[in-house]
Structure 1
Amino acid sequence: MRWLDANLDRRVFWGATLLVLPFLVAGAVAPEATGQAASAVLSAVTTNLGGVYLALVSLFVAAGLALAVSPLGRIRLGRDGEAPEFSRTSWFAMLFSAGMGIGLVFWSIAEPMYHFTSPPTGAAGTPEAARLAFEIFFFHWGVHAWGTYVVVGLAIAYFHFRKGEPALVSRCLVPLIGRRLAEGWLGAVVDVLAIWATVMGVVTSLGLGALQITSGLHLSAGLPDGVGTTLAVIGVITLLFIASAVSGVDRGIKILSNLNVILMLLLLGFFLAYGPTRAIATTFGRALGDYLRDLVPLSTSTVLFDNPGWTRAWTVFYWAWWVAWAPFVGAFIARISRGRTVREFVIGVMVAPALFSFAFAAALGGTAVHIDLHQGGHIAEMVQKAVESALFGTLHHLPHYGLLAALANLLIASFFITSADSATYVVSTFSTGGAERASRRLIVFWGAALGLVAAALVYAGGLKGLQTASIVGSLPFLVVMVLLIVSTARDMAGELRNAPPTP
């Protein structure tokens, strides 16, 4: 297999491939049985291990904040005095594009509308339900999501740029398990699990994005709204993100990330200009206040709102999704964070993107809820029938629908490409022992694998199959993340303890 890449780690490559391949084959050969199995797995994991997800993800947030405010926050991710590689603007754009992307565009209207019509507590369809809906959204898309990414990103950035280790999850565990095991079979298992989690987490987002693009093309251009169109969308976008990944971080990924932010700001500007601006501002302010007030109680509860079924279906799913995204988003954020301090890294990653996500959801979701509450828009009914129609159903109520629909489709496609090519780049790095630049052949292989698995899961089970992928991918990586916290904190503390006193 050296023809794929001269630096290929066969243990990691074949281990990951043999884990991914069954999902691809099962989805293509037996889609109905695969869909049923996916539902059973999703139910079993969320029912029996939901509390584990809730507790550990809150632990990740607390650990990241503790490192930032402690003396360890002064440690630089690189040589002492080294300047950051990217400007703060490009840094924020790239980490946000990789860390949220399609999911935020998909759920910024759909999730608040779901909670508005089916709240975990209280009466549905009321102003109180609308207020609670946005607090829930902020909780799901706030510091818990980004705190999960911090665990992996900080570990890789510290050990790679500060300690000179390869950019691999396994090498971050050297202080705990020793170099022999980290470079041997145990390290290979860890890197396989990182690839496995990445593939399963990313294909969830790719499938969601393809479903949303299909809905947009159906509502705006009259194309068929079926599986065939969705599979065609996945095929076209897969070719585009492979081309971007081949061009590398400094070219394709950086350019597309900046484009994503520009497109998001344009869409946000349209909603602020033509939507209920005062209601949007009120939604943002109230939801942020509610979120900050209830952050600790929500974070320390194993059953939210006294509704275990709702907690499993929503919060546990989200926490699993963020864990599945953590290896690739964390590794990618590490790659672009050289020269920043631990404190700057943690605060920058956890706070800034979360606030932007809140503003985006308040504008789009707040407009949709306002239309339903005060204008009889029936957007909630549309979402209940087809969740992927939420965005374009809302755009129908704003002026210049054709222009907005084209902008939205371009944004979704751009986020689709950015998330997928970032994941392809990172998975290829994990497969080559942490090489800075994988071969084009290997990047094409993993890019095609992501597209094919996403297509197979859409074909087999639709949204349910995609949700199951993130759950299955994240479960074993939870253990790795706990070890990363301990290993990173221990090594940082040792460095600070042994550092010469400053004059």
Structure 2
Amino acid sequence: MRLNPVVFYGSTALILLLTLALIAFPESAGAMLGKAQAWLSRSFGWYYMLAIGSYLFFVLYVAFSRFGQLRLGADDSKPDFSYGAWAGMLFSSGIGISLLYFAASEPIDHLYNPPEGEPGSLHAARQAVQLTFLHWGVHGWAIYALVGLAVAYFAYRHNQPLALRSALYPLFGERRMKGWAGNAVDCFGIFVTLLGLVTNLGIGSLQVSSGLEYLFGLPHSQGALLTVILVMSAVATLAAVSGIEKGIRRLSNLNIILFSGLLLFVLLAGDTLHLLNGFVQNLGDYLNGLVLKTFDLYVYTGQSGKSEEWMGLWTLFYWAWWISWAPFVGMFVARISRGRTVRELVCGVLLIPLGFTLAWLSVFGNSALDLVMNQNAADLGKAALEQPAMSIYLLLEHYPWAKAVIGLSICVGFVLFLTPADSGSVMLANLSREEGDLDEDAPNWLRIFWSAVVTLATIGLLFAGNFTAMQTVVVLAGLPFSVVLLLYMVALLKQMKADVAAQQSAPVSAKVIALNGEAA
């Protein structure tokens, strides 16, 4: 294994220059990025919606067509991990602390600021959960499945490096992919991943520090926030150094236990029948409107300016955010999926985390909406709009054993942050190297370096008061990388057709050889 200097130094320079610019010129940079996001939403909203729909259609097509039986590796290869361990890591790889952050706050925000209709109405409440399901639903997981499938297919079946560039070999050839074009793809992939990880650490630190502020009266200060960030980053770095087989797999198992326990508590301690009825109806609304909402740009609302602004703040932000997480989550999915079939990978990524995610959002979202609309929980509604990180704790204070449950939710948030953070550091390190064994992750010093870069960038942006600008950059960076994902689809389809044809011709060739041998 050796360092790839172009990818390593190029991506490091990109993220540091961006961070320094946002810290040094917070107001002008924020205004410029805000204008850029408004322009992107106005000019490319249609493209984002078509691209996201295409990713979902493609992964479903390859999974349930003749290509679904192709294996990620040799035809006789076996999976590296048991099904239970693999499912646990899939569950944790894409489910992060953002689910705690948005579970109560997003539906309430949509209630008071809907893209169409009367704010605060029953229609707005029903639409709020449907929109939340859309943003966290199958479209995002399809992006992860596409990247994981593309990287794993070419790495394990065609002996290419475990890197983002590998999926483009059929289109651009080996010489270009080992040269500037491949370096550009990996470099930009690291840059986009860093944006996602910085956003994750920022949200995670705000979530945990808000919980400590609520529970123990921790002062709402920069010093307290800095302490939380450093502790969280240190633990995540230790987990990353311990590797996938030890640290990340154990964290995944702990993740499932804590997360499931908190969900069951809110379901059973609240109005269980109402929440179960709500989940079934929410699921029906989501499935019924899946095609419509995939392409809904709110052209005929009569409030084009308001709807356009809402799209930029929510749906387009989410699509770009999923894309920005796709390089590292997809790389991680590829790293743990050798020996699985194409159908197994796609179905596993789409279904294993999705059911739990929708159940979580329905239970917490409906509980929050009920408190705000029917029980006059004004503080919860205000927090959802002004301090989203606090909203989950203000919801839980209405339940029995509130202090203990809020303490548990802080622990859940901490563990939820760790799994994407440590697996992200591992994947960033792997993308920074050249050659090396597919089974061997990059050295510890490289994982520590990327963890430190993410930590420093997050501290600088939060303390400069310009963290929102980084979220805007995520939306902008998602646009060019979305084109790479479209190229992945073309490359995969081309190579899979060739592989299926080779499989079908192999038995015929063997039979001809056998007959020739008998004739001789």
Q: How does the TM-score come out when normalised to structure 2? A: 0.92
Aligned to 2:408: 407
Aligned to 2:229: 234
Pick which of 407-416 and 121-130 moved more: 121-130
Q: For the structure 1 residues 14 and 463, does the alpha-carbon distance in structure 2 shift closer, same or farther, using more than 3 Å as the test?
A: closer
SS in 2 for 1:499: helix
Give per-residue Cα distances to partners, 1:162-216, cap 9 Å, x unaligned: 1111101111111100000011111000100110110011211211111111211
Quick one: which amino acid aligns to residue 373 of structure 1? M
Give per-residue Cα distances to partners, 1:387-418, cap 9 Å, x unaligned: 11111111111111111111111111111111
Aligned to 1:279: 274
Aligned to 2:517: none
**Counterpart check, 1:469 vs 2:464:** no
Distance 1:353 1:477 in 2: 24
Distance 2:142 2:235 in 1: 30
Q: For the structure 1 residues 176 and 111, does the alpha-carbon distance in structure 2 shift closer, same or farther, using more than 3 Å as the test?
A: same
**Please, which of 258, 263, 268 is the counterpart of residue 258 of structure 2?**
263
Q: For the structure 1 residues 37 and 420, does the alpha-carbon distance in structure 2 shift closer, same or farther, using more than 3 Å as the test?
A: farther
Aligned to 2:500: 496
**Post-superposition offset of 1:34:** 4.0
Aligned to 1:117: 112
**Post-superposition offset of 1:478:** 1.3
Q: For the structure 1 residues 457 and 283, does the alpha-carbon distance in structure 2 shift closer, same or farther, using more than 3 Å as the test?
A: farther
Give per-residue Cα distances to partners, 1:405-454, cap 9 Å, x unaligned: 11111111111111111111001000002643211111111010111112
Quick one: which amino acid aligns to residue 405 of structure 1? I
Q: Is the 8 A contact 1:201 1:473 kept in 2?
A: no
Distance 1:299 1:204 in 2: 25
Pick which of 461-470 and 383-392 moved more: 461-470
**Counterpart check, 1:71 vs 2:75:** no
Q: Is the 8 A contact 1:112 1:137 kept in 2?
A: yes
Aligned to 1:173: 168
Quick one: which amino acid aligns to residue 382 of structure 1? A
Q: Which residues of 2 match residues 406-425 of structure 1 at below 5 A?
A: 406-425=407-426
Distance 2:412 2:32 in 1: 33
Aligned to 2:334: 334
Aligned to 1:314: 314
Q: Is the 8 A contact 1:121 1:305 kept in 2?
A: no
Quick one: which amino acid aligns to residue 311 of structure 2? T
Quick one: which amino acid aligns to residue 400 of structure 2? P
Aligned to 1:197: 192
Q: Is the 8 A contact 1:168 1:433 kept in 2?
A: no
Distance 1:288 1:462 in 2: 37
Q: Is the 8 A contact 1:197 1:470 kept in 2?
A: yes
Q: Is the 8 A contact 1:143 1:354 kept in 2?
A: yes
Q: Is the 8 A contact 1:257 1:418 kept in 2?
A: yes
Aligned to 2:430: 429
Give per-residue Cα distances to partners, 1:245-293, cap 9 Å, x unaligned: 1111001111111111111011011101211211211221111101111
* Runs of 5+ consecutive residues of structure 1 not aligned to the other structure: 1-5
Q: Is the 8 A contact 2:70 2:342 kept in 1?
A: yes
Aligned to 1:99: 94
Superposed structure 1 runs of 4+ greater than 6 Å apart: none
Q: Is the 8 A contact 1:167 1:434 kept in 2?
A: no
Pick which of 44-53 and 285-294 moved more: 44-53
Distance 1:149 1:215 in 2: 30
Aligned residues: 498
Distance 1:362 1:301 in 2: 22
Quick one: which amino acid aligns to residue 397 of structure 1? H
Quick one: which amino acid aligns to residue 204 of structure 2? G
Pick which of 283-292 and 40-49 moved more: 40-49
Aligned to 1:382: 383
Quick one: which amino acid aligns to residue 356 of structure 1? F
Give per-residue Cα distances to partners, 1:462-489, cap 9 Å, x unaligned: 5522421321332221121111111111
**Please, which of 292, 295, 298 is the counterpart of residue 297 of structure 1?**
292
Distance 2:10 2:317 in 1: 26
**Counterpart check, 1:11 vs 2:6:** yes
Q: Is the 8 A contact 2:90 2:348 kept in 1?
A: no
Aligned to 2:180: 185
Distance 2:66 2:129 in 1: 35
Q: Is the 8 A contact 2:112 2:120 kept in 1?
A: yes
Q: Is the 8 A contact 2:37 2:312 kept in 1?
A: no
**Please, which of 468, 483, 486 is the counterpart of residue 482 of structure 1?**
486
Distance 1:463 1:358 in 2: 28
Quick one: which amino acid aligns to residue 118 of structure 1? N
Distance 1:454 1:304 in 2: 37
Aligned to 1:3: none
Distance 1:310 1:28 in 2: 27
**Counterpart check, 1:60 vs 2:64:** no
**Post-superposition offset of 1:33:** 4.1
Distance 1:325 1:313 in 2: 18
Q: Based on CA coordinates, which of the two structures has the bigger radius of gyration?
A: 2
Aligned to 1:356: 356
Distance 1:262 1:225 in 2: 30
